[in-house]
Each structure stands twice: as C-alpha cells, then as structure tokens.
Amino acid sequence: MTVTAPEPVPVPASVRGRFIVLEGGEGTGKSTQAALLVARIRAAGVPVTAVREPGGTIVGDRVRGLLLDPAHAGLDARAELLLYEASRAELVAAVIRPRLQAGDYVVCDRFTDSTLAYQGYGRGLDLDGIEALNEWATDGLRPELTVLLDLDPLVGVRRATGQGADRLEAEGAEFHARVRAGFLALASGAAHVVVSASASIDEVAAAVWAAVREGDAALVSAPERA
Ligand SMILES: Nc1ncnc2c1ncn2[C@@H]1O[C@H](COP(=O)(O)OP(=O)(O)O)[C@@H](O)[C@H]1O
Ligand SMILES: [Mg+2]
C-alpha cells in the first residue's frame, strides 16, 4: 500500500486580508474617502494597500491614460469595456490578489460595479456579458464589501469639474442618472452598503468607517474617530 500526502487545499485569495471597494459616480468623494479609510485602517494597526481603477499597475496606468484622454471620445463602447477589463485583470493578478494573500486589507477606488454601472446601465451594453467579463478578468475575485457613495450626479459632476473635466465627466445628465440608478440596483445585495455622499467629508467618512468596522474583529477595537 502506498501512502500519498493529501493534496494541499487551495486557500481562497481573501482568506487573510479583506477586499473593500468604494464605488460611486464622478465627484461622490471616492478618492477622498479611500484616502481617509486607508488612514483609519492603518491607524488600527492593520496593513493596508490602496489601489484605484483603472490603473494601479504600470500597464494599467497607461490604459487609464488612454481611457481618460478627451481625444478618444469616440472610442467604441466594447473596446472601452475591454480596456477596463484588461486594466482590472492586471491589477488583480499583480497587486490585489498577492496583497490579500500576504494578509493586507486592500481598498480599491472603483471596481467591477463601475463597469456594470457605466458600460452596462450607462451605455447599454449587455449586463450579463459584462458580468461574465468581470468574472473572467478578476478570475472570480469579488470584494468582501462594496461601499457605494450615492449622490445626485449634478452635485457630483459640479464637485468633480472643479478639478477639470475629463471625457467621462463631459457626458450628459441623463447618462449620469442612469449610472446612479445602476449603482443603486447593484447595491441591493448583502456585500454592499449605501452611504449618502451629500454630507460633509467628515460625516461621510464616519459612515464609511462604521460600515467597514461592522463585524470586523481586527478593526472593532480601533477608535471610532481616527
Ligand atoms: N462630502 C463632500 N462635500 C463636499 N465636497 C467634497 C466631499 N467629498 C469630496 N469633496 C470634494 O469633491 C471633489 C471630488 O472628490 P473626489 O474624492 O475626487 O471624488 P471622486 O473620486 O468620487 O470623483 C474634491 O474636490 C473633493 O475635495
Ligand atoms: Mg476619484
């Protein structure tokens, strides 16, 4: 009789770290809140990596440049979708999955819901098709928690264009309304929390922090205010 060692059990990518995503339209405060959240997690003594989409890798940042260049306003919607997915695949493979496996928390500014909201609900591409591409590009990795920052798109675009408009921000009000409705539809599941982004930066940060700390043993002993 031969005795063979048992096959190693594959460890899910998120078993050690925690993958948290901030979503929402233009100017809802994602980048502002991502920075504050990362600072709070770090202050709690938990290792954390901050990333954003599109970009976050050398190739991804070049793809980001292509996507946000106003000179590419006529880009075909399917080509645009595939560029987002290419950036995402590289970010997941090169940064997010390895950092989670190393035990980091990962905070990502936009992820798969943005693609569904903009390319699906906004531009009208087939949602099931986008879902399949999201699944493929991420190799099945999903956020443990997605915090949706919800805001009237007119307020958001006004906030954002204070910093200069890019191609996406130049879209019409109806498009942004569809995107907002899409984000809200996607946020009905258990892995999502909706935070109203119309309050002050500090108030929104407190709501985001409460959502992230909820049920998290590593963070629950951390101070309510960093
Ligand atoms: N709660 C808020 N109230 C007022 N202004 C805000 C708030 N959150 C963010 N801002 C401002 O709005 C602009 C866009 O914020 P940003 O974090 O870049 O949004 P996003 O990354 O979602 O596009 C920035 O100038 C930021 O300082
Ligand atoms: Mg931003």
CATH classification at residue 172: 3.40.50.300
Looking from the CA of residue 30, the nearest atom of ligand 1 is: 22
Query: What ligand has the least distance to the C-alpha of 199?
Result: 1
Q: In what order do the strands lie in the sheet with 105-109?
A: 48-52, 105-109, 18-24, 145-150, 192-196
Q: Give yes or no for residue 24 CB within 6 A of ligand 1.
A: yes
- 219 assigned to some structural domain: no
Asked whether 88 lines ligand 1 (CB < 6 A), one says no
Domain count, the chain: 1
Tell me which residue has tokens 């569809």. 178
**Does residue 97 lie in a domain region?**
yes
Atom from ligand 1 closest to the CA of residue 149: 22
Instruction: Kindly state whether residue 76 falls inside one of the protein's structural domains.
Output: yes
pTM of the model: 0.90
Minimum CA distance residue for ligand 1 atom 9: 29
- Spacing, Cα 146 to ligand 1 middle (Å): 18
Q: Classify the C-alpha dihedral 174-177-183-187 as positive or negative.
A: negative
188 Cβ below 6 A of ligand 1 = no
- Could you tell me if the CB of 28 is within 6 A of ligand 1? yes
Tens of pLDDT along 111-147?
999 999 999 999 999 999 999 999 999 999 999 999 9
Q: Give the whole-angstrom CA distance, residue 116 versus residue 44.
A: 33
Q: Is 179 domain-assigned?
A: yes
Beta-bridge partner residues of 52: 109
**Ligand at shortest distance from the CA of 165:** 1
For residue 218, being part of any structural domain is answered with: no
Q: Is residue 46 part of a domain?
A: yes
Ligand 1 centroid to residue 4 C-alpha, Å: 58
CA–CA gap between residue 111 and residue 23 (Å, rounded) = 7
Does residue 4 lie within any of the structural domains? no
Assigned domain for 3 exists:
no
Q: E strands of the chain, at which residues?
A: 18-24, 48-52, 105-109, 145-150, 192-196
What is the domain range of residue 132?
18-213
Residue 100 has pLDDT above 80, yes or no: yes
Question: pLDDT tens digits for 15-56?
Answer: 589 999 999 999 999 999 999 999 999 999 999 999 999 999
Q: What's the angle, vertex CA 120, arms to CA 115 and CA 124, rounded to 5?
A: 145
Q: Is 201 in the pocket of ligand 1 (CB under 6 A)?
A: yes
Tell me, in angstroms, the distance from the centre of ligand 2 to residue 24's CA.
9
* Distance in Å, CA 126 to ligand 1 centroid: 30
In tens, the pLDDT along 156-211 reads: 988 988 755 555 555 688 999 999 999 999 999 889 999 999 999 999 999 999 99
